[in-house]
Amino acid sequence: MNVQGFNHVTINVKSLHESLPFYVDALGMDLVHKGSKDAYLEWGSAWICLQERGDYSDQRIETLGVDHVAFTINEENFHNAAQQLKEKNIPIVRGPVQRGGGWTINFLDPDGANIELHTGSLKERMKHWGGME
């Protein structure tokens, strides 16, 4: 198996109508396709699929599944991005802080999905937390 890197993330949302403005307008993702129950967006070298699932909260176990999704941002743009999140009143759950070899900020989408912007790499994180020389 020769995995080459991050490809995409799929995020279940209650409503495309409510979630798309957050991802497109607030975060600046490029809308590539919008279907009746899904949307595909590009953000840097990653792509994101939003799937409308309605209110399914009582059908899942809240403690399992994806904890958060992290995207790389360069340090030159990080603090401006953090300021934009604050100006748009996007709920910030951590940061901005230096952590694990880079700057990080975690924030929530309209359905509570935890999204992170991080300036560091795995190699930098392992220098701080051990594991890689």
Position 128 scores a pLDDT of 73
Would you call 40 exposed, middle or buried from its count of C-beta atoms within 10 A (0-12, 13-18, 19+)? middle
Residue 116 annotated in active site: yes
Q: Which fold has domain 67-133?
A: 2,3-Dihydroxybiphenyl 1,2-Dioxygenase; domain 1 (3.10.180)
Q: Which fold has domain 1-54?
A: 2,3-Dihydroxybiphenyl 1,2-Dioxygenase; domain 1 (3.10.180)
At 93, is the pLDDT very low, low, confident or very high (cuts 50, 70, 90)? very high
Domain with CATH 3.10.180.10 in the chain: 1-54, 67-133
Position 61 scores a pLDDT of 43
Q: Report the pLDDT averaged over residues 52-80.
A: 74
Instruction: Determine the distance from the C-alpha atom of residue 30 to the mean position of all C-alpha atoms in its chain, rounded to a whole number.
Output: 14
Q: For residue 127, which phi and psi values (nearest 5 degrees)?
A: -60, -35
Give the pLDDT confidence of 33-65 residue by residue, as tens digits: 998 888 999 988 888 888 888 765 555 544 455
Kind of pairing between the strands at 46-52 and 8-13: parallel
Beta bridge partners of 13: 52
State the chain's mean pLDDT as an integer. Answer: 83
Is residue 129 within a helix (H) or strand (E), and if so which, with residue range? Answer: helix 122-129
Whether pLDDT at 121 is above 70 = yes
Q: Write the DSSP symbol of residue 9.
A: E
Q: Report the pLDDT averaged over residues 69-78.
A: 90
Can you spell out the DSSP letters for 34-49?
E-SSEEEEEETTEEEE
Q: Write the DSSP symbol of residue 121.
A: -
Catalytic residue among 76, 116, 124, 133: 116
